[in-house]
Structure 1
Amino acid sequence: MVAMPHPTPHTKPITRDDVARLAGVSSAVVSYVVNGGPRPVSAANEAKVRQAIRALGYRPNSAARALALGSSEMLALIVPDAINPFYASLARAVENAAAEQGYTLLLADSQDSLRTERRLIKNFAARRVDGLFLSSVLFEPDLIDLEQADIPVVLLNHPADVVAKGGAEGHGANAVGVDFQEGARAAVEHLISHGHERIGLVIGGNADSELDAREVGWHQGIQDAGLTAGPIIRVPFTREGGFHAGQELLARSERPTAVFVSSDQQAAGFLCALHEGGLRLPEDLAVFSFDGAPESEYTWPRLSTVAQPLKDLAQAALNALLTPEPGQETQAKTQIFPAELVLRASCGCR
């Protein structure tokens, strides 16, 4: 078979019928090959179709396909910080889970901005994605645009305490998250087991100024042991924020002997500042962080961290978005996973 020249910008767009004529098959057979079904195609016919596609430079019309299927076959994920290793790993886990079901994932970064988050939600609602995963900068985000467009949404990485107050369910949105409070409490309890009696906190903020569940868990762990709380340093959820927290701690005349840090990304900057200040870790100060991001294993010392089960979160979120249980279509459902303590050198474990 002689290959035909590729179309130029001035030629008529190549259609499925053109491919069918060149391959000597019906347009339906071309559709089955391009879409992977729903009917099987013989190996000989599939080879003819693929050769014709290459010869003509045919590209399927995704808009027409979406119209025919009644589905864009696209899901969207909004995270507050796409360059944060934790959110990057979470996005990959969601993308892998979505791909197994034949969906493409669109990733957007709200950059910790409520205004940007709202703009992205409106954008995805207008583009008619099949569903949205939202890791919001708010505990109780505004989902009206998605509700009006009848687009399902799952609040991802959502804290259990907000759900208990009706935050997620009040919107009619499914939520998937980790027990932040219990994870933080367990981390503090572990630091106490090393003999620490004054434990500080480095904590990030949120757009609606609600009390973070990790702070609640930190308080609970200290109170349960009958200890006095150490200092609280409030900084952004960034490496720079953690670095400034470390500098602030170094400037204090009285320091705690251990610190719980609300994210691995903050903890990386925190450790850097402590090293520059000449502190020995964990001899002078023990550190325990939260998230279980990949970089936690490659700091010095290696970070003890409260790890979130990313694959479980991603799969549960996808299931909640695509396959609601009978009777759950209008009633929100929440799944909260336990976190796991990963013990390394920064807390004093070997």
Structure 2
Amino acid sequence: MTVKTGPARVTRKDVARYAGVSTAVVSYVINAGPKKVAPATEAKVLDAIQVLGYRPNAAARALKLGSTEMLGLVIPDNTNPFFAELSHAIEDAANDRGYALLLTNSNGSTAKERKHVRNLLSRQVDGLLLTSVEDEPYLDDVVTTGIPAVLLNHYRPSKLLPTVGVDLTAGARAAVEHLIWHNYENIALVEGMNTANTPDEREAGWAQALAAARLREGQIFTAPFSMEGGYRAGRRLADARDRPRAVFVSSDAQAVGVLRALHEAGLQVPQDIALVSFDASFQSAFTWPALTAMHQPTGQMAEAAVSALLDRESAKARNMVFPTDLVIRRSCGCRPE
């Protein structure tokens, strides 16, 4: 009886033999180091890999090194421009350290978030980055495995894990202070809500700025952190009996929806309603008018989070809080050059 077998698997030795180099040189080319390879030699190795159809065995490599060379990331929604930008920055930071990134979306669901966390941990990722939809996420599974993890986009300290985030209160307060500087008095808030339907620190910053200026608190319009949520809030804002003169919006994604609702209602921004948002993501520069917004330093946050996973010294900084900066455009009433 003849047993049919598939073609023999091409090995690193086969590539080395074809290219006329050592297996160590093949390894340097595949892993981009640790030693440099002359361009002509590298070209021969890459040509051998293509001709022979060589594919590195990631599973075997992981067993040999005791590392998958992968990090896991759970975010609420990668269609949100802020999370898209943050994910990209984390991928870059991970790649700079020789790690790949596995990205999952919880779609704002606690159940999906926990499922993704368990799935990534079962794949033995070398570190986990969690942007939770909860203020106090369930972390027992993470702690039990001993796999390094960081709470990302998390302002409050955690007793269990390092955290990386921005000062939401100070950022929101600065945003509203800029609106007050324009002499707007009736300033509303479009506020995002988490799964527990509890407000975050941006409401506190909004209220502090108004109190310091001795202005009464304006109306609050709650909505999900999405364009659709912002659109619905914007329609309520446009139809309000005592329509606000200005509004602080908790995220760029919501602000995009608010802008559409106001345009549909025949209102002009900033002539009828001025607007400042939070995030200053790449999308905020391309709305009309362009959004004045508090910028979150996604690059610095990503570097800090990846370092906290991979560097023991960095992990000692348990609560890493970054400042935000105001990016001035047209939606607030300014006319920047």
TM-score w.r.t. the length of structure 1 is 0.88
Q: For residue 74 of structure 1, what is the aligned residue in structure 2?
A: 70
Whichever residue aligns with residue 16 of structure 1, its letter is R
1:259 equivalent in alignment to 2:244: no
Deviates more, 1:37-46 or 1:61-70: 37-46
1:240 equivalent in alignment to 2:236: no
Whichever residue aligns with residue 231 of structure 1, its letter is Q
Flag the 1:183–1:326 CA change in 2: closer, same or farther, 3 A. Answer: closer
Distance in 2, Cα, partners of 1:326 & 1:195 = 44
Q: For residue 135 of structure 2, what is the aligned residue in structure 1?
A: 139
Whichever residue aligns with residue 96 of structure 2, its letter is E
Structure 2, gaps ≥5 residues long: none
Deviates more, 1:32-41 or 1:56-65: 32-41
Flag the 1:217–1:55 CA change in 2: closer, same or farther, 3 A. Answer: same
Q: For residue 333 of structure 2, what is the aligned residue in structure 1?
A: 348
Q: For residue 3 of structure 1, what is the aligned residue in structure 2?
A: none
8 Å CA contact 1:79–1:110 kept in 2: the answer is yes
Alpha-carbon deviation of 1:347?
1.0
Q: For residue 276 of structure 2, what is the aligned residue in structure 1?
A: 288
Structure 1, gaps ≥5 residues long: 1-7
Alpha-carbon deviation of 1:208?
2.6
1:336 equivalent in alignment to 2:321: yes
8 Å CA contact 2:191–2:199 kept in 1: the answer is no
Flag the 1:208–1:324 CA change in 2: closer, same or farther, 3 A. Answer: farther
Alignment of 1:209-248 (within 5 A): 209-248=197-236
Alpha-carbon deviation of 1:52?
3.5
Distance in 2, Cα, partners of 1:251 & 1:104 = 48
Distance in 2, Cα, partners of 1:44 & 1:344 = 50
Distance in 1, Cα, partners of 2:38 & 2:90 = 34
8 Å CA contact 1:282–1:348 kept in 2: the answer is yes
Identity %: 52
Distance in 1, Cα, partners of 2:119 & 2:62 = 18
TM-score w.r.t. the length of structure 2 is 0.92
CA displacement, residues 44-75 of structure 1 (integer Å, 9 cap, x when unaligned): 76565444433321111011111111111111
Q: For residue 124 of structure 1, what is the aligned residue in structure 2?
A: 120
CA displacement, residues 58-116 of structure 1 (integer Å, 9 cap, x when unaligned): 11101111111111111121111101111111111111111111111111111111111
Q: For residue 258 of structure 2, what is the aligned residue in structure 1?
A: 270
Alpha-carbon deviation of 1:224?
1.3
Distance in 1, Cα, partners of 2:69 & 2:151 = 20
| RMSD of aligned alpha carbons | 2.1
- The DSSP-based 3-state class of the residue aligned with 1:151 is coil
Whichever residue aligns with residue 212 of structure 1, its letter is D
Whichever residue aligns with residue 99 of structure 2, its letter is Y
Distance in 1, Cα, partners of 2:36 & 2:179 = 60
